[in-house]
Structure 1
Amino acid sequence: MQAWLGNAGMRATTEQPGRVVLGCSDGEGEPDFEDLVVEILTNA
């Protein structure tokens, strides 16, 4: 178990109306917001 995840984080980007992309860094090594990518679509 790790108590410190130094470079963990999330970046939210609005690509276009109704589309948000979340890029997540797992905290290992240098920040890499491509570790996990989630796309959220709405009917906006």
Structure 2
Amino acid sequence: MYYPFVRKALFQLDPERAHEFTFQQLRRITGTPFEALVRQKVP
């Protein structure tokens, strides 16, 4: 659902920036209801 959009956006960034951004967001959503979204299997 959201994966193709997020993937395309992240691949537009510098690799180091994309990596840091991804892990920042994962830390922010840990322990929230949104955590279930990232635990879904990627197609």
* Same-fold call, TM cutoff 0.5: no
With structure 1 as the length reference, what TM-score do the two structures score? Answer: 0.18
So what's the TM-score if we normalise by structure 2?
Answer: 0.19
Structure with the largest fraction of strand: 1
Greater radius of gyration (CA): 1
Higher helix share: 2
